Amino acid sequence: MELKADQFTVRGKLIENAPLAPYTWFRVGGPADLFFIPADEDDLSDFLKQLPEDVPVTTLGVGSNIIIRDGGVEGVVIRLAGGYWGQIEQMNATTLFARSGSLDLSVARFAAKSGIAGLSFLSGIPGSIGGAMRTNAGCYGKELKDVLNQVEVIDRKGEKHVFQGELVDYGYPKVGFSYRHTDFPTDLIVTGALLSGDDVGDPETLKAEIEAHQARRAETQPIKDKTSGSTFANPDPPGTPDQRSAWKLIDAAGCRGLRVGGAQVSEKHCNFLINTGDARASDLEALGELVRARVLETSGVELRWEVRRIGRY
């Protein structure tokens, strides 16, 4: 079915055939049939109520964990970032509320300023809270599930729900959180989350913690490149004895610096793929598959894509 923007009454931005590459860190990929940036939660809910049930919906945060394929994305792509979607509010001494488009770094900084300890790890993740919830993002020994108190969502029919821990009340299966993964239903859009730290802390100490995380990142990761972070999940979750790292397996397979078209395995951190300037999504995906094949051949390990790949080839 052809989707036309003037079929819908909205207050936010609704654009037909909108290029998505500028909204992802990789800067690759084709357009969305229809692209929507809702003005606020009610706007999102009203839009979904008007949208025919058979139209696929994809949610985007800040695009730091995604490859949009060259053929673009069918249906509607909804982007929750910036403005209203970036609001953060302190609820009590150790808890804050963040709308889904808040950057993880902004949440970490807000927590530090408010004296909420235990959320600084978020400063290492360049995505949004919605994306972090979907991917159970984490670093420095902590992941989103450890600080998640309550989640607000809107379902495909435009209905709002709030849940704590489980979604059983709404007829969905229990959400399983595992290493860099959740079974969070894809038809639910996260609109906000209550996050709790573990204690009150000194703002200056927390600020220093964040600065240390940032410095470490800049030293070890190609954060200024067009990338999407770790391409593959480590085969063994953190804490496993003799844990194997994806980057070590990739390095051992001789893939550091490997290229396909404009895509390259980063020389700095070989679990990162980068767009050197003119890569297409197909180059990145082909390079990823080549790396997987070489790692399988040299170590017998089948790497799992951590980066989401969506859309038409």
Ligand X SMILES: Cc1cc2nc3c(=O)[nH]c(=O)nc-3n(C[C@H](O)[C@H](O)[C@H](O)COP(=O)(O)OP(=O)(O)OC[C@H]3O[C@@H](n4cnc5c(N)ncnc54)[C@H](O)[C@@H]3O)c2cc1C
| Catalytic, out of 102, 128, 230, 266 | 230
Question: Dihedral through CA 41, CA 46, CA 50, CA 55, nearest 10?
Answer: 10
Q: Which is nearer to ligand X, 217 or 298 (CB)?
A: 217
Site for ligand X in 281-310 (CB under 6 A): 308
Cβ-Cβ contacts under 8 Å for 191 (sequence gap 6 or more): 41, 44, 80, 99, 100, 130, 152, 153, 154, 160
Least Å distance, CB 200 to ligand X, is 26
Rule CB under 6 A: is residue 132 a binding residue for ligand X? yes
Rule CB under 6 A: is residue 126 a binding residue for ligand X? yes
Which region, judged by CB under 6 A, interacts with ligand X, from 9-17, 128-136, 156-164, 233-241?
A: 128-136
d(CA 233, CA 159): 33
Q: Exposed (0-12), middle (13-18) or buried (19+): which is 229, by Cβ within 10 Å? A: buried
Respond yes or no: is residue 120 known to be catalytic. Answer: no
Question: Dihedral through CA 264, CA 25, CA 237, CA 304, nearest 10?
Answer: -60
Respond yes or no: is residue 299 known to be catalytic. Answer: no
Rule CB under 6 A: is residue 48 a binding residue for ligand X? no
Rule CB under 6 A: is residue 124 a binding residue for ligand X? yes
Respond yes or no: is residue 180 known to be catalytic. Answer: yes
**Ramachandran quadrant class, 17 (left: phi over 0; alpha: psi -120 to 50; beta: rest):** left
How much of the chain is helix, strand and coil, in % rounded to 5? 30, 30, 40
Say how many residues touch ligand X, by CB under 6 A: 34
| Catalytic, out of 109, 134, 180, 294 | 180
Beta-sheet pairing, 31-37 with 73-79? parallel
Site for ligand X in 62-81 (CB under 6 A): 62-66, 80
| Interacting residue with ligand X among 135, 231, 264, 266 (CB under 6 A) | 135
d(CA 284, CA 265): 9
| Interacting residue with ligand X among 69, 180, 213, 292 (CB under 6 A) | 180
**What one-character DSSP code corresponds to residue 226?**
B
d(CA 8, CA 48): 10
Helix (H) or strand (E) holding 150: strand 148-154
Rule CB under 6 A: is residue 119 a binding residue for ligand X? no
| Interacting residue with ligand X among 31, 61, 72, 311 (CB under 6 A) | 61
Rule CB under 6 A: is residue 105 a binding residue for ligand X? no
Least Å distance, CB 309 to ligand X, is 10
181 in helix, strand or coil? strand
Q: Which is nearer to ligand X, 115 or 283 (CB)?
A: 283
Contact in structure between 55 and 1 (CB atoms under 8 Å): yes
Rule CB under 6 A: is residue 138 a binding residue for ligand X? yes
Least Å distance, CB 6 to ligand X, is 26
Site string for ligand X, 239-268 (x = CB under 6 A): ------------------------------
- State the amino acid at position 106 in one-letter form: S
- State the amino acid at position 273 in one-letter form: L
Which region, judged by CB under 6 A, interacts with ligand X, from 11-19, 119-127, 237-245, 284-292?
A: 119-127
What residues act catalytically? 180, 230, 306
- Contact residues toward ligand X (CB under 6 A) are 25, 58-66, 80, 100, 124-128, 130-132, 134-135, 137-139, 180, 189-190, 221, 223, 227-229, 308
